[in-house]
Amino acid sequence: MLQAPVDYSINAANPMETGLAGFAMGQQMRGNEQNMRGEEQRQALLAQEGLRAETQFGQQNILFDQAQQDRLQAQEDALAAAEKEEALARQTLADKGALVELVRSGKAGAADFFEFSAKYPDIAEELKAPFDGYTAEQRKSTVFDLRRAGMALKSGKPEIAIQMLEDRAIAAENSGDPEQADMARATIEMLKTDPAAGQALLGLILQSVDEDAFKADYGDQAALPADVQSLQWRAKQAGLAEGTPEYKEFIGTGGSVPANFAALDKQAKAAGYEPGTPEYKNFMATRGEGEKEAA
């Protein structure tokens, strides 16, 4: 039996409309799904941004902490360097004082000066530098002056040493050598304050200029130069016993005859003792006491 055609004009489902509605619903559902996926992606991006920001903040904190640690380390290093420098300064001062006391006691030897110079090469080089350009003749003259001043100090005559150094300072100025003049006057000021300290400085200067001469004065006395040997020979010929005030003054002044020596010399000659004879030497060495004992 044939079915009557459907009348779409009445309220019946229109397949096309239904299909379109289904398509629209599908589109909407897909749109909703896309929107959901988009929101998920946006949330994911936000999460990534948050993580990145957090990471950057953490890195900044790390950099800040590192910079702070670097500053603290730099401060600690500077403090350690300052403490080390201060300790070195204290040790240098103590070692200088120890050398001066050895000189004061008369026990300072060449080894003590060499040990000091080896421990403080900067000081040794500073003392040596002004003489680097000296000729052999200039060195010889310098050594002679230094040794004479040193002998005067050993003889207990710092005023003579001061005058010798003042003469040297004036000569240095006149010859256009202000550095040597300054060194001589600095030594003079030290001698005025503490003769032993000045003598220690003279020893260090002599060591820097001529080690052989230095060793002769502070070590092996057999190596004395001819001019000093001549002074010693003249002193002995004059009957001055080594170690006596007259002997020390004679050597320290470069051969000047002490006033009391001149008086003794007259007494010896009046007694009939000729200079250079054993009797004359004995009279001078004992200041006439030997003759009294013999009598």
Residues 6+ apart with CB under 8 A from 110: 207, 214, 215, 218, 219
Angle of helix 278-285 versus helix 259-270 axis, rounded to 10? 140
Q: Do 145 and 186 have their domain in common? A: yes
Would 259 be classed as within a structural domain?
A: yes
Would 166 be classed as within a structural domain?
A: yes
pLDDT string in tens for the chain (295-residue length):
445 554 544 454 444 344 334 444 444 555 555 566 666 666 666 666 666 666 666 666 676 677 777 777 777 788 888 888 888 888 888 888 899 898 888 888 888 898 888 888 888 888 888 888 888 888 888 888 888 898 888 888 899 999 999 998 998 888 888 888 888 888 899 889 999 998 999 999 999 888 888 888 887 444 445 555 566 667 766 666 666 666 666 666 666 555 566 677 777 777 887 776 777 777 766 766 655 444 4
Alpha-carbon gap, residue 15 to 169, rounded angstroms: 130
Q: What's residue 38's pLDDT? A: 62
Q: Do 241 and 190 have their domain in common? A: no
Q: How many domains does the chain have?
A: 2
> What does residue 44 show for φ and ψ, rounded to 5 degrees?
-65, -45
Would 134 be classed as within a structural domain?
A: yes
Q: Do 136 and 175 have their domain in common? A: yes
Would 107 be classed as within a structural domain?
A: no
Q: Do 252 and 212 have their domain in common? A: no
Would 34 be classed as within a structural domain?
A: no
Domain end residue (candidates: 222, 250, 269): 222
Q: Do 199 and 288 have their domain in common? A: no
Q: Do 245 and 273 have their domain in common? A: yes
Buried-state track 61-79, b at ≥16 Cβ within 10 A, e below 16: eeeeeeeeeeeeeeeeeee
Region of 288 (left: φ > 0; alpha: ψ -120 to 50; beta: rest) is left
Q: What's residue 32's pLDDT? A: 58
Q: Do 120 and 177 have their domain in common? A: yes
Would 271 be classed as within a structural domain?
A: yes
* 159, two tokens: 């005023």
Q: Do 176 and 201 have their domain in common? A: yes
How many Cα atoms within 13 Å fall on the side-chain side of residue 139? Answer: 17
Domain containing residue 247: 227-294
**Using H for helix, E for strand and C for coil, what is the string for the chain?**
CCCCCCCCCCCCCCHHHHHHHHHHHHHHHHHHHHHHHHHHHHHHHHHHHHHHHHHHHHHHHHHHHHHHHHHHHHHHHHHHHHHHHHHHHHHHHHHHHHHHHHHHHCCCCHHHHHHHHHHCHHHHHHHHHHHCCCCHHHHHHHHHHHHHHHHHHHCCCHHHHHHHHHHHHHHHHHCCCHHHHHHHHHHHHHHHHCHHHHHHHHHHHHHHHCHHHHHHHHCCHHHCCHHHHHHHHHHHHCCCCCCCHHHHHHHHCCCCCCHHHHHHHHHHHHCCCCCCCHHHHHHHHCCCHHHHHHC
Say which amino acid occupies 195: P
Would 101 be classed as within a structural domain?
A: no
Domain end residue (candidates: 222, 256, 275): 222
257: closest CA among 268, 266, 246?
Answer: 246
Q: What's residue 290's pLDDT? A: 53
Domain end residue (candidates: 182, 199, 222): 222
How many Cα atoms within 13 Å fall on the side-chain side of residue 254? Answer: 11
Q: Do 154 and 188 have their domain in common? A: yes
Q: Do 238 and 215 have their domain in common? A: no
Region of 243 (left: φ > 0; alpha: ψ -120 to 50; beta: rest) is left
Q: Do 212 and 150 have their domain in common? A: yes
146: closest CA among 168, 130, 131, 128?
Answer: 168
Would 151 be classed as within a structural domain?
A: yes
Q: What's residue 224's pLDDT? A: 47
Q: Do 147 and 163 have their domain in common? A: yes
